[in-house]
Amino acid sequence: MATSSAADIVKAVGGAGNIESLTHCATRLRFQLRDASGVDSKTVEAIPGVMGAVPQAGERFQVVIGGGVQNVYNDIMALPEMKGGGGAAASDADDIDSIKARERAKGVRGKVAWIDSLFEFLSDSFRPILGALLGASFFITFMALMATLDVIPDWNAPGVTLDPSWAFINLMWQSVFVFLPLMVAYNATKKVGADPWVGFAIMAVLMLPGFTALAQDVEPTALFGIEAAQVAIVPVFGIPMPIANYSSQVFPPLLMAAVLGPLYKLLRRIITANLQLIFVPFFAMLVMMPLTAFVIGPIGVYVGAVLAQALAAINSFSPFIFAIVIPLAYPFMVPLGLHWPINAIMLLNIQTLGYDFIQGPMGAWNFACFGATAGVLVLSLRHRDTQMRQTSTGALAAGLLGGISEPSLYGIHLRFKRIYPRMLVGCFVGGLTIGIGSLVMGLENGVTTQAFVFTSLLTIPAFQPTGLYAIAIGLAFFTSMFLVIWSNFRTPEQQAEFEAARDAAEAAAAAEHVAPAVVEASEPRTIDASEAAPAAAAVPVATAVLEKASIEVLSPLAGKVVPLSEVPDPVFAGGVMGPGAAIEPVGDTVFSPGAGVIAAAQPTGHAFGIVLDGGVELLIHVGIDTVNLKGEGFDVKVKNGDRVELGTPLVTFDRAVIEKAGYPLITPVIVLNADDFGEVSPVLEGEIAVGGSLITVDPKE
C-alpha cells in the first residue's frame, strides 16, 4: 500500500488528532479513537488495499489490511502528522515522538468494559508472535511429513533419538514453543503498561536451568490432585515452593503480567520521577519474582491443567460430540478472543499428553470459513465486484496457505450476516465427518496432532489419521463454498445497492476513455414520448454546452419528477451516488437525454451510463432492485460505446413484469461527476415530458 493510501486511512478515521492510539495484529490496524461516531466504514473500505472496516465499542475501530499490515502500520506511523503533536495528545508525559501502542488508561468504555479489556489483553499478548508460531508450525509439518514417508522415525515420540541433522531441524520449532512463556510475558507486560523487559526477566527466572535443577532430586506430585499439573515441592527459606516445567506454558505469564501492571503503576506514583528509572524496575522485580515463583506460576499451571482436563474429559466421553461442538463453537469464540486460552490448552496437551485432540475438529471450522470466502470470491468474479474480489483473494490465500482466519472473518464474514448460517453448515458437516470417522475407525481421541500447527493446506500431514482429516476439511470447505454461491452473501437490498455503486463506477471509468465533443449551444426543446425516436435524427444537439454557461440535462422519461430523497433506496436517497432527480414514469421507454456516448449499458436493462457532449456523466437507473429480474421485461436497444442523440431509445420495459415482481419503477437520474461542476439542481418537480428540462448543472467558478 502506498503512503498516499496510508494518509487516506488516517484522514478517513478523522485525522491524526482523532487517533488516541494505534496498534496492529496479524491482519488488522487497531485504532483507539477519541470520537468514532463520524467514521464512515464505507469510506474506509473504498481505500485501495483495505479489505474491510470493523467498528467496535469504546471508540475503537479496526481496519482489515491482510498480510501487509505491518507495512501499512509503518507507513502510517511515518506520516508527518503522526509525529510529535499528531495522534495521541501531545500533553501526555509518556509520549515520545509518535503515537504509543497503548489503550486508554481508563480502559474500554461500555457496559461490559472488563470483558472487552480481557479479550484485548489476550489478543495483544499473542498477536505479535503469530508470525513465529506460523513459521514453527511449518517446521512441525515438515517433520510430520518426513515421518509419514518413513524418512525419519516418529520424531516426537518419547525416547526417540534423531540424527543430528534432523535433530537440528527439530530444534527450529522447539525454539519458539519452549520459550513461548517469555514471548507472552513480554507482550502481556507491554499491554498492561509496564516495562516489557521487566516482565520478560521475571518469567525468565522460572525457566532458568538452575531453577528447575532445584527439584532434580524431588519426586513430582499432582498439584491439588490434577495429574496434568505436576510440580515438585522444594523448601526455600523454609517456605514450600512448587517447581513446574514452564516450557510452552502461557497462563503463568498472563497472570504475572496482570499483577505486574497495577504494581508498576503504583510504584510510579509513590516513587519520585527522577528515581523511577532505577527503583521502579528493581522493586517490581523484588516483589514479582518470588511472588511468581511461589504463587502465580503454580496457579497458572493449575488453571491450564484444569481447563485441559475438562476438555479431555468431554472428548473421552464422546469424541463424536466433541468433534461437532468444537467447529460450531469456534465461529463465535474467535471474534470474542476466546480462542486464545484454547490455544494455550492445545500447547499444554502436547506437553503433557504428547498429542492434542482439539486442533483436528478446529480445522473443520477453519476450512468452512475459507470455503465461505471462496464462495465470495466466485460471486465477486461473477458480479464484477473488484473490491470484494481483492479482499476475498487475499483472505483466501492467508487461510489456505497460512491457516489464518482473521482476514476472512473481519474482512468479509462479519460484514455480511448471510454468510454465518451457511458457514455453520460447513462447520457441522466437517465436524460430523470427523465424529463418524472416529467411531468407525475406533479412534479413542478422534483426529489428533503431535504438535501445535495452523490448520492450512500445508499442515494436513501433521494430523492423524491424515485421510479422515483431509476428507473432513474438504467437505467443510466445499459445503460452505457452494451454499454461499447458491444463496449469495448479500441480501437483495445489499445486492441492489452494490449494483448501483458498480454501475456508477463503471460508467465513470468508461467516461475517462471518451473524448466528449464540445459543440455549439442550441436551445433545448421538449418532445413528446411518441415523437422521441424521430426527433433523434432531426435534432443532433440538444444540450447547451457553452463556456461559463449552465448545462441542462433533459428528461429521459415522461412522468412525475420527485426529489432523490423520496427514492426508496438509501444509496440514491442519501446522495451517495451523486446529485440529481428521480422520475416516476408513465411510459415504458427510456430515451437518451441528449447527444453523447453510452459508457455502460447493462445487459439486464436496469441501468445506463451516458457521457453527454460537454462532459456530464449520467447514470439512469430504471427502477429499484430491478437488477434482480435478470433482464426479464427489459428490451435493451443500445450497447457500450454506441453514439446516441437526443431521443434515441435506450430500453423498453414491461411495466406489468416489474410491478408484479413488486419493484418500484421510480427512476433516479444521477450526475456522477458533479465534483467537476458547480451546483447541480433539479429544474422542477411535478409532471414532465420526454426531453423536458430536468437538471441544471452550473460550471465551476
Instruction: Kindly state the cell numbers that stand for 504.
Output: 456508477
| Average pLDDT rounded to a whole number, residues 167-173 | 85
Q: What is the pLDDT of residue 545?
A: 38
Rounded CA separation 502/498 (Å): 6
Task: Say how far residue 491 (Cα) sits from the centre of its chain.
Answer: 19
Highest mean pLDDT: which of 290-304, 546-560, 679-693? Answer: 290-304
Phi-psi region of 270 (alpha: psi -120 to 50; beta: other; left: phi over 0): alpha
Residue 447 CB-density burial (10 A; 0-12 exposed, 13-18 middle, 19+ buried): buried
Summarize pLDDT for 62-99 with one digit per residue, the tens: 887 766 777 788 888 888 877 654 443 333 323 323 33
Rounded CA separation 328/312 (Å): 18
Q: Within 10 Å of residue 378's Cβ, how many Cβ atoms?
A: 15
| Average pLDDT rounded to a whole number, residues 546-555 | 70
Task: Indicate the angle between helix axes 359-382 and 319-336, nearest 10 degrees.
Answer: 60
Alpha helices in 34-106 (DSSP H): 41-45, 69-77
Q: How confident is the model at residue 107 (pLDDT cuts 50, 70, 90)?
A: very low
Alpha helices in 149-225 (DSSP H): 164-178, 180-191, 196-205, 209-213
Rounded CA separation 643/638 (Å): 9
Task: Report angle CA 427, 430, 433 to the nearest 5 degrees.
Answer: 145
Q: What is the pLDDT of residue 103?
A: 33
User: Percent of the chain beyond pLDDT 70?
Assistant: 85
**CB under 8 Å, gap of 24 or more: what pairs does 85-93 form?**
86/16, 86/17, 86/19, 87/16, 87/17, 87/19, 87/20, 87/21, 87/22, 88/19, 88/20, 88/21, 89/20
Q: What is the pLDDT of residue 521?
A: 36
Residue 259 CB-density burial (10 A; 0-12 exposed, 13-18 middle, 19+ buried): middle
Q: What is the pLDDT of residue 510?
A: 61
Highest mean pLDDT: which of 218-222, 286-290, 356-360? Answer: 286-290
Summarize pLDDT for 476-517 with one digit per residue, the tens: 999 999 999 999 998 887 787 777 777 766 766 665 554 443
Residue 298 and residue 292 in contact, taking contact as beta carbons nearer than 8 Å: no
Work out the mean pLDDT of the chain and round it to a whole number: 80
CA distances from 118 to 111, 125, 336, 445 (A): 14, 11, 10, 31
Q: Is the pLDDT of residue 297 over 50?
A: yes
| Average pLDDT rounded to a whole number, residues 452-459 | 84
* pTM: predicted TM-score of the whole model, two decimal places: 0.57
Please tell me which residue, 493 or 45, carries the higher pLDDT value: 45
Q: What is the pLDDT of residue 143?
A: 81
Please tell me which residue, 2 or 652, carries the higher pLDDT value: 652
Q: How confident is the model at residue 200 (pLDDT cuts 50, 70, 90)?
A: very high
Could you tell me which of 377, 350, 326 has the C-alpha nearest to residue 174?
Answer: 350
Which amino acids are annotated catalytic? 25, 621
Rounded CA separation 475/433 (Å): 8
Q: What is the pLDDT of residue 335?
A: 72
Q: What is the pLDDT of residue 157?
A: 64
CB-based contacts of 74, cutoff 8 Å, min separation 6: none
Q: How confident is the model at residue 119 (pLDDT cuts 50, 70, 90)?
A: low
Rounded CA separation 214/371 (Å): 51
Q: What is the pLDDT of residue 22?
A: 84
| Average pLDDT rounded to a whole number, residues 453-473 | 89
Instruction: Kindly state the cell numbers that stand for 3.
Output: 503512503
Instruction: Kindly state the cell numbers that stand for 500.
Output: 448501483
Q: What is the pLDDT of residue 535?
A: 39
Which amino acid appears at position 591 of this protein? F
Summarize pLDDT for 125-162 with one digit per residue, the tens: 777 887 787 788 778 778 877 877 778 887 666 677 78
Q: What is the pLDDT of residue 525?
A: 40
Could you tell me which of 523, 520, 530, 592 has the C-alpha nearest to residue 555?
Answer: 592
Q: Is the pLDDT of residue 293 over 50?
A: yes
Rounded CA separation 402/67 (Å): 10
Q: Using the 8-state DSSP alphabet, how is residue 700 labeled? A: P
Highest mean pLDDT: which of 45-59, 342-356, 545-559, 597-611? Answer: 597-611
Residue 624 and residue 531 in contact, taking contact as beta carbons nearer than 8 Å: no
Q: How confident is the model at residue 538 (pLDDT cuts 50, 70, 90)?
A: very low
Q: What is the pLDDT of residue 402?
A: 79
Residue 678 and residue 698 in contact, taking contact as beta carbons nearer than 8 Å: yes
Q: How confident is the model at residue 544 (pLDDT cuts 50, 70, 90)?
A: very low
Q: What is the pLDDT of residue 313?
A: 84
Q: What is the pLDDT of residue 97?
A: 32
Alpha helices in 192-296 (DSSP H): 196-205, 209-213, 251-270, 276-291
Q: Using the 8-state DSSP alphabet, how is residue 12 labeled? A: H
Q: What is the pLDDT of residue 524?
A: 41
Please tell me which residue, 545 or 669, carries the higher pLDDT value: 669
| Average pLDDT rounded to a whole number, residues 430-434 | 95
CA distances from 273 to 269, 270, 276, 339 (A): 9, 9, 5, 40
- Of 333-342, 354-363, 436-445, 518-527, give the lowest mean pLDDT range: 518-527
CB-based contacts of 547, cutoff 8 Å, min separation 6: 699
Could you tell me which of 356, 390, 358, 386 has the C-alpha nearest to residue 373?
Answer: 390
| Average pLDDT rounded to a whole number, residues 204-221 | 88
Rounded CA separation 41/654 (Å): 38
- Residue 235: helix, strand or coil by DSSP? strand
For CA atoms 208, 209, 214, 217, give the dihedral sign: positive
Could you tell me which of 348, 347, 346, 306 has the C-alpha nearest to residue 222?
Answer: 306
Q: What is the pLDDT of residue 186?
A: 94
Summarize pLDDT for 562-621 with one digit per residue, the tens: 888 888 887 778 777 788 899 999 889 999 998 888 888 888 888 888 988 878 888 899
Summarize pLDDT for 399-409 with one digit per residue, the tens: 898 788 877 88
